[in-house]
Amino acid sequence: MFQKIKIKHLNSLKENKGEYMGLLDIFKKSKKVDVTKVENNLKTVSQKTVSKQTEHRLDLTKKIDNSFKKLNLDKPEILSNALFLLDVSGSMDDLVDNMKKIDHLRDVMKNYQDARKICFSNKIYTDGSIPEPNGSTNLAGALRYIKDNVDKPNKIVLVSDGEPDNELDAWEIVQQLELPIDIVFIGRSKSRGELFMQKLAQKTGGENFTV
């Protein structure tokens, strides 16, 4: 009995061989890898990866300049009523993108030569130049100088790469100034310096960028 069933099954396979082979071809084709499509997908993924890496490595000069433009400082009516407060403490001598941070800042400030600016470390510089980095970050002293000696601007644009020498003193003067302070922070995300600067911008009604 078993032998008869086996023979019958084999005969059925022979009779329907064409049909089975046709189904097998369809299955194979459905599983066949489209090499061109895979290569194109890989190229797309690679291009996106390179684009993200390029964006991540965007030159610091460009990042600072982009932040200024987001603050509309390229518009004369905004720039004329703003005051740049530039950190020239010793850490601004550090290298980023194979160039000192201070030189990145100098390159950007070439586009804002007519703007009012004050540079500070533990000293105050008001001659319009951007000196070589030195000393500490006496933000409170710089803000006090603005409060006592400078015609009140509409806002301050602070560029700094660290936390101030004395946060409490800085907060005290900020409250007396009653001015929005926009901040471009050159440093690590989530560092203590960035957190202070974010808070400072938020409390004064300014904007904050980390580059």
Whats the size of the chain, residue-wise?
211
- Taking the C-alpha atoms of 60, 66, 72 and 76 in order, what is their torsion angle to the nearest 10 degrees? 70
Place of tokens 């009516």: 77
- pLDDT attached to residue 38: 44
User: Burial letters for 21-56: b for 16+ Cβ neighbours within 10 Å, e otherwise?
Assistant: eeeeeeeeeeeeeeeeeeeeeeeeeeeeeeeeeeee
pLDDT of 34 reads 53
**Distance between CA atoms of residues 207 and 157, nearest Å:** 9
What residue ranges define each of the domains in the chain, with the CATH number in brackets? 2-56 (no CATH), 60-210 (3.40.50.410)
| pTM summary value | 0.73
Buried b (16+ CB within 10 A) or exposed e, 114-137: ebbbbbbbeeebeeeebeebeebb
Tens-digit pLDDT profile for residues 175-199: 999 999 999 999 999 999 999 999 9
Q: How confident is the model at residue 27 (pLDDT cuts 50, 70, 90)?
A: very low
Higher pLDDT, 114 or 154: 154
Q: Inform me whether the pLDDT recorded for 37 exceeds 60.
A: no
SS3 (DSSP) at 16: coil
Q: Which whole-number Å values give the CA distances from 196 to 24, 46, 114, 128, in the listed order?
A: 68, 38, 29, 27
